[in-house]
A and B are shown apart, each in its own frame.
Chain A
Amino acid sequence: MEPFERYRPIIDDFEAFLEACRRPLGTAVRVNTIKASVDRTIAVLEETGVAYEQADWNPRVLTLETDSPGSTWTSFHGFTYGQEEVSAVPAGVLDPQPGERVWDACGAPGGKTTQIAALMDDQGTVVANDNNLGRLSALRFNAERLGATSLAVTNQDARNFSMKPFDFDSFDRALVDAPCSCEGTIRKNPDALEDWSEDHLHSVAGIQKGILRRAIQTTREGGTVVYSTCTFAPEENEAVVQHALETESCEVVDFDLALEHSSGLESWDDEEFDSSLENAARIYPHQNDTGGFFVAKLEVTA
Chain B
Amino acid sequence: MAGERSEGDDERASETPESGELEENVGYRFDRLPATADERRVEGRASREEVIEYFHDRFGIPPETFDEYTFWEKGAGKIWVYAGEAPSPIEIEAIGMTCLRTRQEHWKPTTDAVQRFGPYATDCVIELSREEARAFTDGQDQELEWDGDWGYLIAAHEIGVEPEGRPGRDGDAVEGGKLEPLGVGLYVHGELQSVVPKGRQRSVSDAR
A residues contacting B by CB (< 8 A) are: 34-37, 39-41, 43-50, 66, 68, 70-73, 75-78, 99-101, 122-126, 133, 136, 140-141, 143-145, 147-155, 165-168, 172
Contact = CB atoms under 8 A, between A and B. Distances in A.
Interface string B188-201: 00000000000110
Contact of A152 (B69, B86, B160): B86
B205 A68 contact: yes
Q: Which of B68, B95, B159, B199 has the most A CB atoms < 10 Å from its CB?
A: B159
A151 B203 contact: no
A75 B115 CA distance: 12
Contacts of B94: 140, 143, 151-153
Contact of A39 (B81, B84, B162): B162
B91 interface: yes
A130 to B, nearest CB: 9
Interface of B: 1-3, 68-69, 81-87, 90-98, 110, 112, 115-116, 137, 159-163, 166, 180, 182, 199-200, 202-208
A68 B206 CA distance: 11
Contacts of B161: 43
Contacts of B81: 149
B206 A49 contact: yes
B84 A154 contact: no
A145 B203 CA distance: 16
B204 A73 contact: yes
Given A48-B207, A101-B2, A76 B202 contact: yes
- Give the 5 A-B residue pairs with the shortest CB-CB distance, closest first: A49-B207, A44-B160, A125-B84, A147-B116, A153-B94
A187 to B, nearest CB: 25
B90 A165 contact: yes
Nearest to B91: A165
Contacts of B95: 151-153
Given A43-B161, A78-B115, A166-B85, A125 B207 contact: no
B206 A48 contact: yes
Given A101-B85, A165-B86, A167-B87, 4 more contacts: A76-B182, A78-B112, A124-B2, A167-B85
B206 to A, nearest CB: 5
Q: Which of A68, A122, A140, A152 has the most B CB atoms < 10 Å from its CB?
A: A152
Nearest to B134: A73
A39 B96 CA distance: 26
Contacts of B68: 123
B160 A47 contact: yes
Nearest to B88: A167
Nearest to B30: A152
Contacts of A149: 69, 81-84, 96-97, 116
A282 to B, nearest CB: 33
B86 A153 contact: no
Contact of B92 (A47, A50, A78, A165): A165
A144 B183 CA distance: 13
Contact of A166 (B86, B98, B115, B200): B86
A145 B208 CA distance: 25
Given A39-B162, A165-B92, A71 B203 contact: yes
Contacts of A153: 92-95
A166 B96 CA distance: 15
A43 B160 contact: yes
A166 B203 CA distance: 41
Nearest to B183: A76
A126 B2 CA distance: 11
A147 B2 contact: no
Nearest to B93: A153
B104 to A, nearest CB: 20
A71 B202 CA distance: 6
Nearest to B89: A165
A152 B84 contact: yes
Contact of B97 (A41, A49, A148): A148
B87 A143 contact: no
Given A40-B160, A47-B159, A145-B200, A35 B206 contact: no
B180 to A, nearest CB: 6
A154 B203 contact: no
Given A48-B207, A136-B93, A149-B96, A144 B83 contact: no
B83 A43 contact: no
Nearest to B162: A40
